[in-house]
């Protein structure tokens, strides 16, 4: 599927969202959907895991849901799940320490930053080097911290990074192959965060590495100029559409912030509705206009947007045996770079000579 969508990006002074300060409160991490699975007896997803039907589904022999496909999906998360240092708030270890008498703790030697613009460029180059596809910097808006989190005032900046997900993998959604593309994004995130956190500490500054924890990633990414919010509840970037995973680092290093951007996402989403039409769970709003009306307990009130019923989304995952990315794959902003909306599992696994 080709798209004639044209993107014109412009920098703006304020983020392109509308919030009602009388309604907006810091969101409770305990109300994040995946946390509610463990404690909230009031909804159908309580204690349900989305791998509960995996063995049953494999026996059904559905294309894209084989033992091999699920093996790929589970393998994709291993670095994210096993490498806890990726999300450490402190130094992991001293660099190649040969003997205590001659080791150097670079975190105790502060790099002078007399030019925040130059240091920001250096940080962005380092992030690209370590695997970030997009990076932006903003002042930390503490409204986006989870209610349970308290950070010292010295953390004034957020470095927000996006990692592109494999386009052909996502195009197989809702198969486990698409879930593997998501998992690889998270595993890359752990590596990227660990390296960037240590880079900042090696310059004598503090770094708090975050995936989906600690603070809301999407509003921070909007503040940092990476994109706009879409109907599907995801960040839409000019480069990859919603086909990215987000992570961030909070720091006390003096930096130059980026301006937010605007490229017409709200107007486009108002008319498009492809994500809502293709959502197997019926979780995405078909309303013409965004509103302040939340859809479930895991929505954060106070922002004008199309709220997604993530409870319905999760219950579909449980039936599907794995998570789903269909709202990403059908998005015209994704199709600008991925070109293919649908890839069959057989096409994905097409044998080629990779030895060359």
**Tens digit of each residue's pLDDT (9 = 90 or more) over 217-230:** 999 999 999 999 99
Q: How many CA atoms lie within 13 A of 13 on its CB side?
A: 0
| 343 located within any domain | no
| 344 located within any domain | no
Question: CB–CB of 212/35 below 8 Å?
Answer: no
| 219 located within any domain | yes
Q: What is the pLDDT of residue 100?
A: 53
Look at the chain and report how many structural domains it folds into: 1
| 102 located within any domain | no
Mean pLDDT of 184-207: 95
Distance CA 165, CA 184 (A): 8
| 348 located within any domain | no
* Residue 330, pLDDT above cutoff 60: yes
Question: CB–CB of 298/311 below 8 Å?
Answer: yes
Tokens representing residue 191 in the block: 């590596």
- pLDDT tens digit string along 1-26? 445 688 999 999 999 999 999 999 99
- Structural domain for 80, as ranges: 12-91+112-338
E strands, the chain, in order: 10-11, 134-139, 157-164, 207-210, 228-229, 235-236, 244-251, 261-262
Distance CA 313, CA 82 (A): 26
| 99 located within any domain | no
Distance CA 96, CA 18 (A): 48
| 322 located within any domain | yes
| 167 located within any domain | yes
Measured distance between the N- and C-terminal CA atoms of the chain, rounded to whole angstroms = 31
Q: What is the pLDDT of residue 164?
A: 97
Q: Is 53 exposed, middle or buried (0-12, 13-18, 19+ CB in 10 A)?
A: middle
- pLDDT tens digit string along 168-182? 999 999 999 999 999
């Amino acid at each position: 599927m080709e798209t004639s969508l044209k993107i014109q990006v412009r920098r703006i002074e304020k983020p392109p969202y509308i919030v009602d300060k009388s309604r907006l409160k810091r969101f409770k991490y305990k109300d994040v959907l995946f946390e509610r699975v463990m404690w909230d007896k009031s909804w159908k997803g309580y204690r349900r895991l989305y791998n509960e039907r995996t063995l049953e589904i494999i026996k059904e022999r559905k294309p894209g849901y084989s033992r091999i496909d699920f093996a790929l999906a589970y393998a994709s998360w291993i670095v994210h799940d096993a490498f806890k240092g990726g999300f450490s708030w402190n130094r992991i270890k001293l660099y190649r320490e040969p003997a205590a008498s001659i080791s150097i703790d670079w975190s105790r030697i502060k790099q002078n930053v007399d030019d925040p613009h130059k240091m920001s460029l250096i940080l962005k180059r380092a992030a690209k080097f370590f695997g970030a596809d997009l990076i932006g910097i903003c002042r930390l808006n503490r409204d986006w911290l989870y209610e349970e989190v308290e950070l010292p005032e010295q953390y004034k900046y957020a470095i927000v990074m996006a990692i592109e997900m494999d386009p052909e993998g996502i195009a197989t959604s809702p198969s486990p192959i698409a879930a593997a593309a998501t998992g690889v994004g998270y595993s890359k995130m752990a590596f990227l965060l660990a390296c960037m956190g240590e880079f900042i500490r090696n310059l004598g500054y503090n770094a708090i590495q975050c995936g989906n924890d600690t603070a809301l990633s999407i509003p921070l990414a909007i503040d940092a100029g990476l994109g706009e919010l879409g109907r599907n509840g995801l960040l839409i970037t000019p480069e990859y559409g919603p086909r990215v995973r987000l992570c961030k680092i909070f720091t006390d290093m003096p930096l130059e912030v980026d301006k937010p951007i605007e490229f017409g996402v709200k107007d486009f989403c108002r008319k498009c509705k492809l994500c809502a039409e293709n959502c197997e769970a019926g979780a995405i709003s078909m309303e013409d206009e965004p509103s302040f009306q939340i859809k479930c307990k895991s929505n954060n009130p106070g922002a004008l947007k199309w709220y997604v019923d993530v409870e319905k989304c999760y219950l579909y995952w449980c039936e599907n045996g794995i998570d789903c990315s269909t709202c990403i794959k059908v998005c015209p902003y994704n199709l600008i770079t991925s070109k293919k909306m649908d890839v069959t599992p057989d096409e994905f696994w097409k044998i080629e000579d990779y030895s060359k």
